[in-house]
A = this chain, B = another copy of it.
Amino acid sequence: MKDFKAKEFACHTAAMAETPGVPEPTLEEQIAAYQREFQDLDPQVEKIVSALSRLNRRMNVAYGRQTADLGISNAEWEVLKALVLSGAPYRMGPGELAKRLGLTPAAMTHRIDRMVSEGLVTRERDESNRVRVIVELTPGGREKWLEAMRLATVFEEDLLQDLTPTERAVLGEVLTRLLRRVEHAQPDAGGRLSDLD
């Protein structure tokens, strides 16, 4: 099952000292700094963009901890997710997976290697077309995904807990609209850089 690294940041080496000198700027402080250094900036726009970015980062950290607790990495969770969402027999080719996750086929090969050795998926040649390879989720892999999902949904519900039904509806609608806008302006690949839908 691999060594399974601690996965908790901020511990680069044995001791890392809390560094009282670097208090990490709040969102408000940061926006003030932006305005100081770059005059023609709409603070409202910057607030939205910065909050969105920070929020996403925090969420990824939270997901990373949860999956780490389950003994899988965030990278592995992404693969499990793609396979589960593909439905039914939970099978995909490495190339298809690579495209879905936004990484190169080479990286996919290695990632699958690891996951096969951990029993999360199986890899075999398609006998009806021996150029193809089939990656299939194992029951254990599916169970891991379910456990991760249970943790994730609890976290997400908790995160949105204070929002009123109206706020939730508006937030969902507005974000979807923004997403459509970028996807339309940028129809190509999804690229890398933190996926985790």
Question: Is A169 an interface residue, CB under 8 A from the partner?
Answer: yes
Number of copies: 2
Interface range, A side: 35 or more
| Interface of A: prevailing SS | helix
Question: Is A195 an interface residue, CB under 8 A from the partner?
Answer: yes
Residues 34-59 of A, flagged 1 when their CB comes within 8 A of B and 0 if not, give 10111011101111111111111111
A22 x B100 contact (CB < 8 A): yes
Beta-carbon nearest neighbor of A188 in chain B: B10
Known: A48-B160, A85-B34. A55 touches B170 (CB 8 A): no
Beta-carbon nearest neighbor of A55 in chain B: B179
Known: A22-B100, A102-B9, A162-B177. A171 touches B53 (CB 8 A): no
* Chain B proximity of A98: nearest CB distance (Å): 8
